[in-house]
Chain A
Amino acid sequence: MNRFQWFFYHLSRLFLALVFVYAGAVKIQDVIAFAGHVAAYQILPYAMNDLVAAILPYVEFLAGVLLFLNVRVRPSLVVVGGMTLVFMAALVSVLLRGLDIDCGCFDPAGGQDVSAGMALLRDVGLMVLVVLTWVLRNRLTAGSAKREARDEETF
């Protein structure tokens, strides 16, 4: 684990943390508006939209906080990566059906209209960061394990 890898691990971890803390926090502010965005995807039955809207922002927020604190990083990456994959699948289905909707990725009340294509591109970027963070994390722990083993030998 060299300095570069160490640096990029923390950089991408903190970036993902901020993205998901922000995404969760703004949706928590207005869960009902977010439910409307989920409904606009026309994927889930009526009541399920509200259930997803009631839970998803909190999971995003929690995973973001854990990433930020550098605690339970790999489970958080699994959750964040899993959510991103689900978002990507939803966005692909939106593109295939030709729906013209706001992605609802961030601020549900904000007027920033992000097309499904742009949102999908952004999610691909997030997914790359998730994988990168995962790989660097594994190297980091492997490195420290090796160091520990070496330290034990010297004693």
Chain B
Amino acid sequence: MNDDFKRVLLEACVLVAFGALFGLTINHQLVLDAFAGRLVSQRPVVDAEQELQQEAPLALPMPVLLEEVRQLVADGGLIVDARNPELFAAGHIEGAVSLPLADIDDVLSDFISRIDKDRVIVTYCSGFGCPDSFDLGMRLIEEGYNDVRVFEGGYPEWRDAGFAVAGEDQ
């Protein structure tokens, strides 16, 4: 290797050193955090992202299966129908109370005043592919209900299994 190329390499190293110096001067906090093992999400990242994480509830409604719903009801759980009042009137799981997600802001305060926060809640709607039961479950968790489950099979699975239903069409 001739002297000329050695000098070029040396200058290249100096260039990298300067880059590193700049980078570390500006980002030293990030690197220190990383080496201290603090998570990316705990750093003041993008504000919107962080706010979203803080606003998100800690718990999600747990899905339950048909058989579990019956057990939960037998143990004192409450079934909540997230569908609109017309569908509820036409037919619903026996013993369920109507809490239509579409009108949630009007009906929620009454529901909260009547139902204890520690009672097990099982939400349902029109079966798989219907998001209302999950959304209602999320809302109830936000309101402070401690044990909220979602019966994803919903009214169709319950009815088709031959379990007790109530309503005008029955």
Contact B19 A75 (CB under 8 A): no
Contact B34 A55 (CB under 8 A): no
Q: Dominant SS at the B interface?
A: helix
Contact B40 A32 (CB under 8 A): yes
Q: What chain B residues lie within 8 Å of A49 (beta carbons)?
A: 34
What's the tally of chain B residues with a CB closer than 8 Å to chain A?
26
A79 in the interface (beta carbon within 8 A): yes
B18 in the interface (beta carbon within 8 A): yes
Q: Which of B1-57 contact A (CB under 8 A)?
A: 8-12, 14-16, 18-20, 22-24, 26-28, 30-31, 33-35, 37, 40, 43, 45
Contact A58 B20 (CB under 8 A): yes
Also in contact, A36 and B40, with CB within 8 A (given A51-B34, A54-B31, A72-B15): yes
CB contacts between A and B, total, < 8 Å: 81
Q: Dominant SS at the A interface?
A: helix
What's the tally of chain A residues with a CB closer than 8 Å to chain B?
28
Contact B40 A57 (CB under 8 A): no
Also in contact, A55 and B30, with CB within 8 A (given A32-B43, A36-B40, A78-B9): no
A82 in the interface (beta carbon within 8 A): yes
Smallest CB separation, A30 vs chain B (Å): 8
Q: Which of B11, B12, B19, B31 contacts A58 (CB 8 A)?
A: B19
Also in contact, A54 and B16, with CB within 8 A (given A47-B35, A74-B8, A75-B11): no
Of A6-14, A61-69, A87-95, A118-126, the stretch lying at the interface with chain B is A61-69
Contact A56 B23 (CB under 8 A): yes
Q: Binary interface profile of A, 35-56, with partner B (CB < 8 Å = 1, else 0)?
A: 1100000000011011101111
Please, could you name 30 A-B residue pairs with CB atoms under 8 Å apart, sorted by A? A31-B30, A32-B30, A32-B43, A35-B30, A35-B34, A46-B34, A50-B27, A50-B30, A50-B33, A51-B31, A54-B24, A54-B31, A55-B23, A56-B19, A58-B20, A58-B22, A58-B26, A59-B16, A59-B19, A59-B20, A59-B23, A74-B11, A75-B12, A75-B15, A76-B12, A78-B9, A78-B12, A79-B12, A79-B15, A82-B12
**Known pairs A32-B43, A58-B23, A72-B11. 17 more at Cβ < 8 A?**
A32-B30, A32-B40, A47-B37, A49-B34, A51-B35, A53-B30, A54-B24, A55-B23, A56-B23, A58-B26, A59-B15, A59-B16, A59-B23, A62-B22, A76-B12, A76-B15, A79-B15
**A interface residues with partner B (beta carbon < 8 Å):** 31-32, 35-36, 46-47, 49-51, 53-63, 66, 72, 74-76, 78-79, 82
